[in-house]
């Protein structure tokens, strides 16, 4: 600091700064009331694939309209992180897609109950040059076996996400306990980033259909290799965190969110999402009653 400002101009800028700070603070303030209804925050931990597909932009306004007492905030992370946030009581409800981990989450007492909401499917995507020659097949495991045998480049999310876990199951069925080698590239990133890397490097990748459809315009080097196999099924579940473990959690809101997702209104919205934009629905609702 060469000179110390004194006098009026200093006071004016100080006052300006104070005004700016108070505006910023006011902008951050919570606890709003709308039309006399007490509004509480409801924090949902979900997956990047759900967020990136745009489904939440469709569902959340409808949920908030039906339940004006809640304002939903979505924390889009990997399934692993979402469940961890639930364990630590940092979120009120989780909506993820890794049934085995979800059941364990409930069995361990972190979640109160688990309801199935919808499914979408995975697609095996690969470079248009298709070095392993797997395009057009209907058997995902056969394609995986072929890719491993040819050591064709494969990009894995490697991030403990639901998609990563599904991929590992497919490798297991193809006879590889844990694939390794130069051809198997572990990038530890989200679906969008992993697809971008596969597009740039000419690799195969397992992707959820929603993210693939919403991004494929930007991925000219990639195309679908295998789809429609039952082994590519991707079930989503919703779990409110256990009020016993997390007394501070917004349990009422969490249960309301779950009930709304499996209600006729929620299920119909899910069934219609994406039809106008992609010509097909991204998710198939399958809540059991």
Partner 1 sequence: MIGESIRQAVELLLTDGEVWSIILRSLQVSGLAVLFGCLLGIPLGVLVGIHRFRARGAVVAVINTGMALPPVVVGLFIFMLLSRSGPFGSLHLLYTKQAMVAAQLVLALPLILGITVSGIGAIPREVLDQARSLGASRWQTAMAALGEARPMLIVAVIAGFGRIIAEVGAVMIVGGNFHGDTQVMTTAIMEEVRKGNFSLALALGVILLTIAFSANGVMARLEQRAMAS
- Residues near partner 1 (CB under 8 A) are 2, 77-78, 80-85, 88, 158-161, 185-190, 193, 197, 199-201, 220-221
Position of tokens 């890397």? 197
In the complex with partner 1, the residue whose CB is nearer, 137 or 221, is 221
Q: Least distance to partner 1 from the beta carbon of 183, Å?
A: 12
Minimum distance from CB of 1 to partner 1 (Å)?
10
CB of 185 to partner 1, least distance (A): 6
Neighbours of 205 (CB within 10 A): 30
Q: Which of 239, 55, 87, 78 is nearest to 166 (CA)?
A: 78
Cα separation, 115 vs 232, whole angstroms = 20
> Smallest distance, Å, CB 117 to partner 1?
21
- Give whichever of 80 and 237 is closer to partner 1, judged by the CB atom: 80
What crossing angle do the helices spanning 162-173 and 140-150 adopt, rounded to 10°?
Answer: 80
Q: Where do the H-state alpha helices sit in 126-238? A: 140-150, 162-173, 191-201, 209-215
What span, in angstroms and rounded, lies between the C-alpha atoms of 270 and 240?
Answer: 20
Pick between residue 167 and residue 229 the one whose CB is nearest to partner 1: 167
Minimum distance from residue 250 beta carbon to partner 1 (Å):
21
CB closer to partner 1 out of 72 and 91: 91
């Amino acid at each position: 600091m060469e000179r110390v400002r004194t006098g009026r101009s200093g006071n004016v800028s100080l006052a300006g700064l104070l005004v700016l700070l108070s505006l910023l603070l006011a902008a951050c303030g919570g606890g709003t009331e709308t039309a006399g209804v007490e509004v509480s925050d409801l924090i949902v931990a979900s997956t990047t694939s759900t967020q990136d597909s745009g489904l939440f932009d469709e569902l959340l306004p409808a949920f908030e309209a039906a339940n004006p007492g809640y304002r939903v905030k979505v924390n889009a992370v990997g399934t692993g992180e979402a469940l961890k946030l639930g364990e630590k009581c940092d979120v009120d409800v989780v909506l993820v897609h890794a049934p085995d981990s979800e059941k364990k989450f409930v069995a361990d007492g972190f979640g109160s109950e688990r309801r199935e909401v919808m499914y979408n499917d995975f697609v095996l995507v690969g470079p248009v040059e298709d070095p392993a020659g797997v395009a057009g097949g209907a058997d995902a495991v056969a394609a995986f076996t072929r890719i491993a045998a040819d050591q064709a480049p494969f990009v894995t999310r490697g991030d403990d996400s639901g998609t990563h876990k599904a991929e590992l199951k497919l490798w297991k069925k193809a006879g590889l306990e844990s694939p390794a080698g130069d051809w198997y590239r572990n990038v530890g990133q989200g679906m969008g980033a992993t697809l971008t890397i596969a597009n740039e490097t000419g690799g195969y990748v397992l992707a959820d259909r929603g993210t693939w459809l919403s991004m494929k315009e930007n991925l000219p080097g990639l195309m679908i290799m295998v789809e429609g196999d039952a082994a590519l099924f991707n079930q989503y579940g919703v779990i409110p965190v256990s009020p016993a473990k997390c007394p501070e959690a917004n349990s009422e809101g969490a249960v309301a969110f779950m009930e709304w997702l499996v209600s006729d209104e929620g299920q119909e919205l899910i069934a219609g999402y994406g039809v106008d934009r992609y010509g097909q629905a991204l998710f198939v609702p399958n809540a059991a009653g």
